[in-house]
Amino acid sequence: MKAAILVFPGSNCDRDLQVAFERAGADVTMVWHKDDALPAGTDIVGVPGGFSYGDYLRCGAIAANSPITRSLKTHVERGGYALGICNGFQILTETRILPGALLRNAGLKYICRTVPLNVRTSDSDFTRGWAAGTELQIPIAHHDGNYQADAELLRELEGEDRIAFTYNDNPNGSSGDVAGVLSANRRVLGMMPHPERAADEALGGSDGRAMFTSLMTALVSA
């Protein structure tokens, strides 16, 4: 599996994501935002957390218009995989690769703690390592993680089984307790919680590791 991780000015979870992919056996290349092409043969693009461009204008808005993001869009349109975590999720909604938007947390505070998540579907290469209904302990660290979806969009996401994760105890006001959503072809996942920060027992937990091993299984022959 070849993974490319995008690095924007202000990204700060890029190295964590790199380690999580490498531990699962992936061949990882870091790609600077000013590059305009992804490495040949990229199977999956990781869009990491952080504060790209200082969250200016809106979280993810400037990164969504970076040169490398155009290549990301082409990659996704061709059926390529992408995983956006935290600021990465915000970037994926700003590019309209994923539906909805992320607003300031309902309680207005930055929240940094480990929260219980529910796996809502195992029908994706990101979540196949868990049974639906599994509870995971995964850290969140965000100020703008309040997922906004109107009733119609929520119905559509539920009807198509595209809600990957929900919060057990909604920390940020997200519509429908949504913590992560899949694209229609189930090959793009955006989520606010950080599975890459829960991929090593020595660093506080490994509940997120199955995401990377399950991607590896799916993409190793791709």
Partner 1 sequence: MKARVHVMLKNGVLDPQGEAVRHALGSLGFEGVSGVRQGKVIDLDLAEGTSEETVREMCEKLLANTVIESYSVELI
Contacts of 202 (CB under 8 A, 6+ apart): none
Rg of the chain (C-alpha set): 16
**Residue 219 touches partner 1, criterion: CB under 8 A:** no
Stretch that binds partner 1, among 40-48, 92-100, 155-163, 205-213 (CB under 8 A): 92-100
**Residue 184 touches partner 1, criterion: CB under 8 A:** no
**Residue 105 touches partner 1, criterion: CB under 8 A:** yes
Q: Which is nearer to partner 1, 23 or 104 (CB)?
A: 104
Relative orientation angle of helices 209-219 and 14-23, to the nearest 10 degrees: 60
Stretch that binds partner 1, among 67-75, 143-151, 201-209, 214-222 (CB under 8 A): 143-151
d(CA 80, CA 170): 31
**Residue 101 touches partner 1, criterion: CB under 8 A:** yes
Q: Is there a catalytic annotation at residue 86? A: yes
- Smallest gap, in angstroms, from Cβ of residue 147 to partner 1? 11
User: Using CB under 8 A, which of 15, 23, 104, 128 touches partner 1?
Assistant: 104
Contacts of 40 (CB under 8 A, 6+ apart): none
By annotation, the residues acting in catalysis are 86, 194, 196
